[in-house]
Amino acid sequence: MSFIGNLILATVRMAMPILFIALGELYSERAGMVNIGLEGLAAIGSLVGFLMCFITGSTWLGILCGALVAVLVNMIYAFATINLCADHTVYGMAMNIFAPALASFIYRVYFGKGSELSQITLMKGIGIPVLKDIPFIGALLFNQTPMVYIAILLVIVTVIFFSKTRAGLNYRAVGENPQAAATLGINVIRTKYIACVLCGALSGIGGAYLTTCYSNTYTEGNIAGRGFIALAAVIFGRWSGVGILIACLFFGFCDALQIRLQVMSIGVPYQFFQMIPYVATVLALTIIGGRKLGPKAAGKPYRKEQR
Amino acid sequence: MKKVMALLLAGVMALSVPAAASFADDGKEYKVAMICDSSINDGGWGAACYNAMVAAADENGWTYEVSDNIGQNEYYDSIAAYCALGYDMIYAPGNQYTDAVLQAAEEYPDIAFALLNGADTVPGEAVNGNVTSLLPNAQQIGWIAGALAGLMTKSGTIAFIGGMELDTTLGKYAGYGEAAAYVAKAEGREVKLLDPVYAGSFDASDKGIEFAKAMIDEGADVFFGDASAVDSGARQAIDEANKAAGEIKIYDIGQPADILGQNECVICSQVTDNSAMISVSMQAVEAGTFGGETIYGSLQNGGLSAGAMSDLVPEDVQAKYQEYLQQMIDETFMADAQ
């Protein structure tokens, strides 16, 4: 395969975990919940996904359990911010501190202080009949793990849900003006909890993707800032499903490119290439994220009696 | 503030159960603590360094403890916490801990600090003379891997993956390249060593996967590294490439422990016997003579060696490789090239 083909493949691999997490944040923010604790949620999802896969041998069960545990952990954030009207940023950061520490604790309790490398069998790729045989793009787009297809499907569903369905419009209304939404009979509290469930589940899946579809080992810190990049992707993607997909592919491309440029041995100090994803993120947010386009009530506490 | 942090950490560490409780010959209970920024079950550097400490502690009747996966901003606090708990020796396996070790060594003059891969100038910089460098010969480490890479490469392109750009990493890279080129030239071939790549950390296994895939695309068919869990990721990618090809034709040389069998692609390992150097340090602590020196690990004193060979290495190649290893021990390797 050509340099470009391999670069695209690497881009897809590196973008997928960010895409799941960013879609989770989209569902959260559309209901007015600015959850910056994505890094922590992905971390616990990653550990639980690996652990369940290691124990049972099932990658699907690993992903499911990763999502469930991340939802449970995110309920702390949900209760504090929805019921207690606590500050979203403070509790999001608390999640980023608490959840990775919990993951480390569980890992150490289960595996002890052994030095043996634990490895699992990753989810296998599935080629879509006929489509996978299309020259060039067939191998790139239609010979991936099922999770990649699910991610793309999720983007399509998200776009349709938010722009073409009554339920989606009601959901968005909660993030724009919850008081007005409540007067229309929309259950704001329930919608916000649903948002937290979706955010936790998708962030957990994003983390579990890393340890069930990407790397067959678990290392602490393997999320490596993807939760924060996902936050940037939501802004860069202008709170739309397609925009987020493009943003995630862009960030994945930058990371894949810096790795390939390092390998190409063109005599430039490697630190320059390592800067590329971060510089691109800053530039993208500066250019695209300048104007506030997000939900108007994002991050604001909802009190029923408040006018 | 740092002292407060250290005391808090010490409190947490005191709650953890020591891994073993035994006594040295003189009846005193000696304790060693290891800090590590990678995981002790990374299948590479962290695991080997931890096992070396455990082996040395068992041999000398010491109690041991470890804190792994610590961040760069926690190096000093973790060390100081163990010092506050009365540990006799701090074992810091990596050049990157030098500053933290020197700072703690100044503040805790009665505690011994063993710095693996520390430069030979570091003990002289410790104002209390309580630091010893344990220094495996980086060039020889590179030679051990490079000679085999030079013999085994079919494509003529070999690769090296680093975690961070440390002096010891650069030394290993240089030795790897020069040995591979020398051996290949003797075989009538040429070898190209790709520029070193760095993941920027020792735990980004995903970066190891991507580096290895990209280097395989560049034609590399023998890999060596100095990057802990990043190397584990690289080996995963190599195994996947071999599986896709239907045969094992891309190889990896492990380090610093013998990891033959961990992955299909591993054909041999460069083995560093850190336990021998740690054991010497422990005995020096017990004798009250610790500090101010550099303990070298080399092929000559048994500190470095090559591990078991895979069946993937043909017998005639194994024989040639053993000859080259003997030349390295006899200090005649590359003598005609220097």
CATH number where A194 lies: 1.10.3470
On average, the pLDDT of chain B sits at 91
Kindly state the average pLDDT of the residues B80-108. Answer: 96
In a domain? residue A294: no
pLDDT of residue A120 exceeding 70, the answer is yes
- Cβ–Cβ contact A72 with B under 8 A: no
**pLDDT for the residue numbered A269:** 85
- Cβ–Cβ contact A263 with B under 8 A: yes
Q: Which of B39, B74, B223 is most worth mutating to test chain A (most A CB atoms within 10 A of its CB)? A: B39
In a domain? residue A119: no
Domain residue spans in chain B? 6-136+274-297, 138-272+308-337
Quick one: pLDDT band at residue B259, thresholds 50, 70, 90?
very high
On average, the pLDDT of chain A sits at 92
- Class at the top of the CATH hierarchy for domain B6-136+274-297: alpha beta
CB contact under 8 A, A217 and B43: yes
Percent of chain A with pLDDT over 90: 73
**pLDDT for the residue numbered B21:** 45
- Cβ–Cβ contact B230 with A under 8 A: no
Q: Which residue in A219, A256, A265 is closest to B39 by CB distance?
A: A219
pLDDT digits (tens, 9 = 90+) for B323-336: 999 999 999 999 87
Counted domains in chain A? 1
pTM: 0.88
Distance (Å) from the alpha carbon of B324 to chain A's nearest alpha carbon: 29
pLDDT of residue B2 exceeding 90, the answer is no
Q: Give Cα B187 distance to the centre of its chain.
A: 30
**pLDDT for the residue numbered A289:** 63
**pLDDT for the residue numbered B191:** 96
What amino acid occupies position B215?
M
pLDDT of residue B19 exceeding 50, the answer is no
**pLDDT for the residue numbered B24:** 55
Q: Higher-confidence residue: A79 or B38?
A: A79
Residues of A with Cβ-Cβ distance to B262 under 8 angstroms: 117
- Class at the top of the CATH hierarchy for domain B138-272+308-337: alpha beta
Quick one: pLDDT band at residue B18, thresholds 50, 70, 90?
very low
Which three-class secondary structure string do you get for chain A? Answer: CCHHHHHHHHHHHHHHHHHHHHHHHHHHHHCCCCCCCHHHHHHHHHHHHHHHHHHHCCHHHHHHHHHHHHHHHHHHHHHHHHHCCCCHHHHHHHHHHHHHHHHHHHHHHHHCCCCCCCCCCCCCCEECCCHHHCCCHHHHHCEECHHHHHHHHHHHHHHHHHHHCHHHHHHHHHHHCHHHHHHCCCCHHHHHHHHHHHHHHHHHHHHHHHHHHHCCCCCCCCCCCHHHHHHHHHHHCCCCHHHHHHHHHHHHHHHHHHHHHHHCCCCCCHHHHHHHHHHHHHHHHHHHCCCCCCCCCCCCCCCCCCC
Q: Do domains B6-136+274-297 and B138-272+308-337 have the same CATH topology?
A: yes
In a domain? residue A300: no
How many CA within 13 A on the CB side of residue A130? 0
Q: Which domain holds residue A61?
A: 6-112+144-288
- Cβ–Cβ contact B51 with A under 8 A: yes
pLDDT of residue B20 exceeding 50, the answer is no
CB contact under 8 A, B210 and A116: no
pLDDT digits (tens, 9 = 90+) for B211-247: 999 999 999 999 999 998 899 999 999 999 999 999 9
In a domain? residue A126: no
Kindly state the average pLDDT of the residues A289-296. Answer: 73
